Amino acid sequence: MEHIASVLKLSDDDVREKLPTGETRLKHRVYWARTYLKKAGLLTVPERGTLQITQEGLKLLGENPSSLTRNDLKNRSPEFRAFIAPRSKSEQDMKSPDRGERTPEELIEEGYIDLYQALVTDLLDRIKSETPQFFEGLVVDLLVKMGYGGSRKDAGQAIGRSGDEGIDGIIKEDKLGLDVIYIQAKRWENTVGRPVVQAFAGSLEGVRAKRGILITTSQFSTEAHDYVKKIEKKIVLIDGEMLTKLMIDHNLGVSTVASYDIKKIDTDYFVEE
């Protein structure tokens, strides 16, 4: 950010300017620029704290563009279009995507979706950069927050068998331990196919378990999803995106930096009886 401030000849006041959240505007803009360039396939994150330009990024530099906007990224990157695709139905129904055509409420909703999607991406990148032991603890913490396993101590003891690709273990379905759930978690980059899920179902049969959760940092194939729908045992597949969304929903590994209350007139108050 210091280098960017120097190149752009930003004043000290520009560098120190802060948003209502307390974050500097410079840091905020750099964060979003990084996120957009990553989603457009122009940058990658080979390891924590490191950004690397891609061949597509080098190609773009070779074109020597005078500027680079969100519309530019939309026009050249299907991945970026997919990233910003989730929008409010009201916006999708509007004839013009121009910012001035949308109401303040729609703009807030659009901004919230952008923030949410970026958090999902960054959270998954962070999970993948951590150790297998950290991933093991993360899964335990998430399941406990979701109401499984009783106490954190009980859940940790139940799951504490570590493997090369993740964790395997048993966790209570409820605090009384009336039933148990078999868990397998895989820190994978490649798609998890039906053979892996089928093998997991076989392991459930071996321990006479009726329910299982298979968690991965990547994604499951269509065949894998079709398979669990056909078998008698109940197996829940949690891919990387769902994992991060569950973490956000249960406030695991995330914190609230700002909140905004939207208020309107209470018409009932102004009605005379």
Evaluate whether 27 touches 35 at the Cβ level (below 8 Å). no
Q: What is the pLDDT of residue 222?
A: 94
Q: What is the pLDDT along the chain (273 residues), one digit of tens a residue?
A: 889 999 999 999 999 998 777 788 898 888 889 889 998 999 988 877 788 999 999 999 999 998 898 889 988 898 888 887 765 344 454 444 455 566 677 778 788 888 888 899 889 988 988 888 788 788 888 988 888 876 677 776 666 554 434 456 778 776 666 677 888 888 888 899 999 999 888 888 877 778 889 999 999 999 999 999 999 889 999 999 999 999 999 999 999 887 888 888 887 888 766
CA 40 to chain centre: 17
Per-residue pLDDT, 257: 82
Same domain, 228 and 172: yes
Q: Is 136 found in the same domain as 124? A: no
- Give me the residue label for tokens 């959240």: 21
Q: What pLDDT is stored for residue 86 in this prediction?
A: 60
Domain range enclosing 177: 132-249
Q: What is the DSSP letter of 167?
A: E
Longest dimension (CA), the chain: 72
Residue 271 buriedness (CB in 10 A; 0-12 / 13-18 / 19+) = exposed
With 0-12 / 13-18 / 19 or more C-beta atoms within 10 angstroms meaning exposed / middle / buried, residue 32 is middle
Q: Which amino acid is at 117?
A: Q
Burial string for 53-90 (b: 16+ CB within 10 Å, else e) reads: eeeebeebeeeeeeeeeeeebbebbeebeebbeebbee
Q: Which of the listed residues 128, 162, 197 is the one where a domain comes to its end? A: 128
pLDDT at 242: 95
In a domain, 225, yes or no: yes
Would residue 266 count as lying in a domain? no
The Cα 105–Cα 258 span in angstroms is 17
* Phi/psi at 220 (5° precision): -105, 145
Is 175 found in the same domain as 120? no
Residues 124, 151 share a domain: no
Q: What is d(CA 12, CA 236) in angstroms, rounded to the nearest whole number?
A: 53
Shared domain for 92 and 139, answered yes or no, is no
Q: Which of 261, 242, 258 is nearest to 250 (CA)?
A: 242
